[in-house]
């Protein structure tokens, strides 16, 4: 089941219910500490700086995880018969580049279908 959210906070609340993977704790920690407690400002206390350092060390791995999931989602939209979904995926793939043949072929196929 897909659920779309337009507010980050709602997505964070729903993440454990819909995805519930190994990143739940990381995302909650980033939100509660970086945004709410520190207000996006570097913390002064050493213990908080150590936490921020650990979060930063995990960020690339989370971003790569997200991009793999997002790729799967965009491919499903490209292969759908819904023109709005295909257009959305094409627009997103103009912003996020996946250098593999599967995405390239799906993009070409979707573009050909849209121009028929």
pTM: 0.83
CB burial of 36-45 (b: ≥16 within 10 Å; e: otherwise) equals eebeeeebee
DSSP conformation letters of 56-106: HHHHHHHHHHHHHHHHHHHHHHHHSS-HHHHHHHHHHHHHS---SHHHHHH
Query: Is the C-alpha dihedral spanning 79, 83, 84, 89 positive or negative?
Result: positive
Please write down the long-range contacts of 3-6, taking CB distance under 8 Å and 24 or more positions apart. none
Residue 3 scores a pLDDT above 80: no
- The per-type count for the chain, helices as H runs and strands as E runs, is 5, 0
Per-residue pLDDT tens over the stretch 13-60: 999 999 999 999 999 999 999 999 999 999 999 999 999 999 999 999
Q: What pLDDT, on the 0 to 100 scale, is given for residue 1?
A: 62
Q: Indicate if the pLDDT at residue 4 is higher than 80.
A: no
User: Higher pLDDT residue, 10 or 52?
Assistant: 52
Rounded distance, CA 66 to CA 27, Å?
12
Read off the pLDDT of residues 77-101 as tens digits, 9 standing for 90 and up: 999 999 999 999 999 999 999 999 9
């Amino acid at each position: 089941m897909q659920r779309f959210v337009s507010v980050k906070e709602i997505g964070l609340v729903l993440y454990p219910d819909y995805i519930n993977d190994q990143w739940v704790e990381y995302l909650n920690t980033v939100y509660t500490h970086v945004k709410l407690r520190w207000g996006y400002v570097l913390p002064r206390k050493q213990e908080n700086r150590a936490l921020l350092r650990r979060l930063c060390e995990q960020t690339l791995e989370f971003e790569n995880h997200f991009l793999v999931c997002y790729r799967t989602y965009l491919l499903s939209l490209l292969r759908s018969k819904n023109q709005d979904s295909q257009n959305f995926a094409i627009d997103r793939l103009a912003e996020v580049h996946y250098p593999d043949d599967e995405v390239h072929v799906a993009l070409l196929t979707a573009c050909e279908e849209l121009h028929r």
